[in-house]
Amino acid sequence: MQPFPPPGETERTAPVINGLSVDVEDWFQVGAFENVIARSDWDTLKTRVEDNVFRILDLFAEADVKATFFTLGWVAKRHPAMMRRIADAGHEVASHGYDHARVFTFDRKAFAEDIRTARAVLEDSSGQHVTGYRAPSFSIDHRTPWAFAELAEQGYAYSSSVAPVVHDHYGWPAAPRFAFRPLASASLVELPVTTALFGGRRLAAGGGGFFRVLPYGFSRWAIRQVNRAEGRPAVFYFHPWEIDPAQPRVPGAPIRSRLRHYTGLARMAGKLTDLVHEFRWGRMDAVAAVEALRADELAAPQAIAAHEAAA
User: 178 or 238, CB closer to Zn ion?
Assistant: 238
User: 145 or 207, CB closer to Zn ion?
Assistant: 207
Residues 94-153 that bind Zn ion (CB under 5 A): 136
Nearest-CB residue for Zn ion: 23
User: 158 or 181, CB closer to Zn ion?
Assistant: 158
User: 25 or 141, CB closer to Zn ion?
Assistant: 25
The HSE-up count of residue 32 (CA atoms within 13 Å, CB side) is 22
In the bound complex, what is the minimum distance in angstroms from residue 96's beta carbon to Zn ion?
Answer: 6
In the bound complex, what is the minimum distance in angstroms from residue 27's beta carbon to Zn ion?
Answer: 12
Q: DSSP states of the chain as a string?
A: ---SSPTT--TTTSSPPEEEEEEE--TT-SGGGTTTS-GGGGGGSPP-HHHHHHHHHHHHHHHT---EEEE-HHHHHH-HHHHHHHHHTTPEEEE--SS---GGGS-HHHHHHHHHHHHHHHHHHH-PPP-EE--GGG--STT-TTHHHHHHHTT-SEE-----S--SS---TTS-SS-B-S-TTS--EE-PPPEEEETTEEEE-SBTHHHHHS-HHHHHHHHHIIIIIS----EEEE-GGGG-TTSPP-TT--HHHHHHHHTTHHHHHHHHHHHHHHS-EE-HHHHHHHHHT-GGGGSPPHHHHHHHHH-
In the bound complex, what is the minimum distance in angstroms from residue 23's beta carbon to Zn ion?
Answer: 4
User: 49 or 205, CB closer to Zn ion?
Assistant: 49
User: 239 or 280, CB closer to Zn ion?
Assistant: 239
In the bound complex, what is the minimum distance in angstroms from residue 242's beta carbon to Zn ion?
Answer: 11
In the bound complex, what is the minimum distance in angstroms from residue 229's beta carbon to Zn ion?
Answer: 30
User: 23 or 92, CB closer to Zn ion?
Assistant: 23
Q: Which residues fall within 8 angstroms of residue 26, CB to CB, at 6 or more apart?
A: 42, 45, 47, 48, 49, 75, 240, 241
How many chain residues bind Zn ion (CB under 5 A)? 3
User: 29 or 227, CB closer to Zn ion?
Assistant: 29
In the bound complex, what is the minimum distance in angstroms from residue 306's beta carbon to Zn ion?
Answer: 28
Residues 16-55 that bind Zn ion (CB under 5 A): 23, 25
In the bound complex, what is the minimum distance in angstroms from residue 198's beta carbon to Zn ion?
Answer: 26
Whether 151 and 106 have beta carbons less than 8 Å apart is answered as: no
Residues that bind Zn ion (CB under 5 A): 23, 25, 136
